[in-house]
């Protein structure tokens, strides 16, 4: 079984708030329900509680690398690093941008998610099994 979580890396003032309305709408168009999700701040303990910390872009990656404890258990990687053939390594942050930006980000998130799950399945010896 795999468990996934999401957290903001910058000082967020919206901790506890639901996702952005445009994010909810874009997700709903793809049959994702974001009901019950709430923003949370990344915590240093996440480096010990998870196997992987995946940054959505290089700026967040650098920030996480800077605060990463030396004894951290989690591997720190860029989210799209599981797809080395992609031209970009960043998932653009669509917040406060045009609605089309949410679609582009979701395209990359879905692409990355498939590659991540396949990599994790291979790591666990589950490749080829559904």
Q: Supply the angle between the helices 21-29 and 99-123 in degrees, to the nearest 10.
A: 60
Number of domains forming the structure of the chain: 1
For 60-93, how does the pLDDT look when each residue is reduced to its tens digit (9 = 90+)?
999 999 999 999 999 999 999 999 898 889 999 8
pLDDT at residue 10 tops 80: no
Distance CA 13, CA 109 (A): 24
For residue 101, being part of any structural domain is answered with: yes
Q: What is the pLDDT of residue 110?
A: 95
Q: Look up the CATH number of the domain holding residue 84.
A: 3.40.50.2300
Is position 67 within any domain? yes
Asked, for residue 9, whether it belongs to a domain, the answer is: no
User: What pTM, to 2 d.p., does this model score?
Assistant: 0.86
- For residue 91, the enclosing domain spans 44-123
């Amino acid at each position: 079984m795999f468990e996934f979580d999401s957290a903001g890396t910058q000082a967020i003032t919206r901790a506890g708030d639901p996702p952005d309305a445009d994010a909810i709408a874009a997700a709903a168009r793809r049959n994702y329900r974001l009901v019950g999700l709430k923003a949370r701040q990344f915590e240093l303990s996440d480096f010990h509680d998870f196997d992987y910390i995946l940054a959505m872009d290089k700026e967040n990656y650098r920030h996480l690398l800077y605060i990463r404890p030396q004894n951290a258990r989690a591997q720190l990687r860029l989210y799209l690093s599981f797809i080395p053939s992609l031209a970009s390594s960043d998932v653009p942050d669509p917040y406060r941008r045009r609605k089309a930006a949410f679609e582009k980000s979701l395209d990359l998130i879905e692409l990355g998610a498939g590659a991540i799950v396949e990599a994790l399945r291979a790591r666990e010896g589950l490749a080829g099994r559904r």
